[in-house]
Amino acid sequence: MEITEVRIKLVTDVDDRLRAFCSITFDHEFVVRDLKIIQGQRGHFVAMPSRKIMEKCTRCSAKNEIRARYCSHCGASLPQTVPVDSTGRSRMFADIAHPINSSCRERIETAVLHAFEEEKVRAQQPGYVCRYDDFEESMH
């Protein structure tokens, strides 16, 4: 599978670790949106699109965020359990899409971080326009 396009949307809040959002296209046919470029302790890294992990209320079965103390639907007290990963860290989010192996992750991260550096340079040019949000136009 070939990475055929990477689009970057830079984030202007420099106080946040989030530096950009990204979408990546495979084989001109399949798009994954909402990857994030994050400033980590060892440089930038790519975080896959994710969703918050939810837990059902035992009384009414409504979904609530993992760390919620009370059900947002019925008000019942919720157990204070937090799922942990294999390293023992608490898991608040689950990936929606992610690479299966390290070589795929490396290809994605290399392409995304290269596009990120190019977008930062382009953003300094007069008349710069972000292309991230115009997918619908390019699909017709």
Fold (topology level) of 1-49+96-140: Arylsulfatase, C-terminal domain (3.30.1120)
Tell me, what's the pLDDT at 8? 97
Q: Is the pLDDT of residue 133 over 90?
A: no
Q: Give the CA count within 13 Å in the CB-facing half-sphere of 11.
A: 16
Q: For residue range 71-97, what is the model confidence (pLDDT) as tens digits?
A: 999 999 998 776 677 777 777 888 899
Structure tokens given for 39: 């400033």
What residue segments make up the domains of the chain, in order of their start?
A: 1-49+96-140, 55-93
Q: For residue range 22-37, what is the model confidence (pLDDT) as tens digits?
A: 999 999 999 999 999 9
Q: Minimum mean pLDDT among 84-88, 113-117, 135-139: which range?
A: 135-139
Are the CB atoms for 46 and 37 separated by under 8 Å?
yes
Tell me, what's the pLDDT at 10? 95
Tell me, what's the pLDDT at 79? 84
Alpha carbon separation from 131 to 1, 14, 22, 44, 115 (Å, rounded): 23, 21, 11, 21, 12
Nearest to 45 by CA among 71, 20, 62: 20
pLDDT > 70 fraction of the chain, expressed in percent and rounded: 94
